Amino acid sequence: MDRIAALRAKSAMGTNQSTEHNSADDFVAEAKACPLADGGLQTALLLDKALHKDPHHHEARLLREKLHRTFVPRWHFSMLADTPRNAAYAKAIAAKVTKGDIVLDIGCGAGLTAMLAARAGAKHVYACEGQPLIAHAAMKIVAANGLSDRITIIPKWSYDLEVGVDLPEPADVVISEIVDNVLLGEGALPTLKVAMARLAKPSARTVPETGTLFAQPIESAELAALWQFGSAEGFDLRAFHDFANIVEMTPYEFCAANVRALGAPTPLFSFDFAKPATRRGEMSTELACDQKGCVHAVLASFEMILAPDIRLSNGIGQAGHWGRTAFLMGKPVHVERKDQVEITASHDCAALNISIHNQAVRQSRIAPGVAA
């Protein structure tokens, strides 16, 4: 019996034995004393008992909300509501999964990609999710869609899976969506390197197949006003700028920044998700400007190929739930067409860094009104 099933059974036994004698306050007190080493699952079950007793219990409702915010990142909701992303994954999975395949879904979340694989004809889908509360929800979602006989939700991290224990045989297809705004932040490369070596057949297919990181110079007076404000009420505050060299923007914040591209995206690093390498990378390059303007930052973006002719990107002009990452210029510079911005980009398989050289090359000039 797996951990979630055992906790549910224990919870049911406790309900039968003590529900008549415990108040909602008692269950809340027990939930507050419960350790969170299990990812909050037992605490959630106790709060559910409290709310079964009293659906409007103030403290139980607040504690449950706090618990959910702690263990279920809010980006799950915008991701599941991302129609272009969902459609692209559905199309790619339908193209990659064939009848009779054993599929491994890494970081399955709510179970959507696992259900897409089952719909595409997989013999069985083994979907792992390391967060117990999310895994528990995925089990309920799979059951509600009548797919419990073809999808097994495994409440483990993929590193802990074993062929012959969790999967009956190595997978024919490995599905994942464990990337952040710059592909690397959720550990996709080391996770997939281990999974492809230990849990997949040598000829296994993957969704996604590859990913590429890009950089391009951008103009955004709004970014500069928010992060490089210079002064307030007549006081010089520029020394505070050193605390904000990298800006992470939600899709809404990115839209509000009115970003204007001053040059096309330049490729930095490419990654093969079927044969992941975990070597560090570093390169220097020049970003070409094909528009006249003021460079306030260098924008990083990615493009993933999920399957042939099926792509996802968070570049300028692309919709979706992914945010954006901008690396601010130390001092904004004016550029003319054909000017270039020199950068050094590096990654350690977990994070991307872009270091912008002092000034754009050729005839670049410090932007008027920006103190030297």
Asked if the peptide bond before residue 73 counts as cis, ω within 30 degrees of 0, the response is no
Whether this model's pTM surpasses 0.85: yes
What DSSP element (H or E) covers 5? helix 3-18
**Which tens digit of pLDDT belongs to each residue from 144-197?**
999 999 999 999 999 999 999 999 999 999 999 999 999 999 999 999 999 999
Q: Mean pLDDT across the stretch 324-332?
A: 93
Confidence of residue 359 (pLDDT cuts 50, 70, 90): low
Q: Tell me the average pLDDT of the chain.
A: 91
Confidence band of 99 (pLDDT split at 50, 70, 90): very high
Are residues 69 and 84 in contact, defined by beta-carbon separation less than 8 angstroms? no
Q: What is the pLDDT of residues 277-319, one digit of tens each?
A: 999 999 999 999 999 999 999 999 999 999 999 999 999 999 8
Long-range contacts of 5-9 (CB under 8 A, 24+ apart): 7/38, 7/41, 7/42, 7/45, 8/45
Distance separating alpha carbons of residues 363 and 372, to the nearest angstrom: 17
pLDDT at position 364 over 50 = no
Is 90 exceeded by the pLDDT of residue 372?
Answer: no
Distance CA 25, CA 287 (A): 61
What are the C-alpha distances in Å from 302 to residues 160, 183, 204, 274, 284?
29, 7, 24, 17, 18
**Is there a contact between 184 and 349 (Cβ–Cβ < 8 Å)?**
yes
Encoded amino acid at 297, one letter? A
Residue 13 has pLDDT above 50, yes or no: no
CB–CB of 226/296 below 8 Å? no
- The identity of residue 283, as a single letter, is M
- What are phi and psi for residue 79, nearest 5 degrees? -65, -45
Predicted confidence at residue 135, as pLDDT, reads 97
- What does the pLDDT look like over 207-258, one tens digit per residue? 999 999 999 999 999 999 999 888 899 999 989 888 989 999 999 999 999 9
Number of H helices, E strands in the chain: 11, 18
Q: Distance between CA atoms of 268 and 283, rounded to whole angstroms?
A: 8
What domains are there in the chain, each with its CATH number?
A: 3-71 (no CATH), 76-177 (3.40.50.150), 210-366 (2.70.160.11)
* Cα 24 from Cα 223, distance rounded (Å): 49
pLDDT score, position 1? 46
Confidence of residue 336 (pLDDT cuts 50, 70, 90): very high
What pLDDT score does 187 carry?
Answer: 94
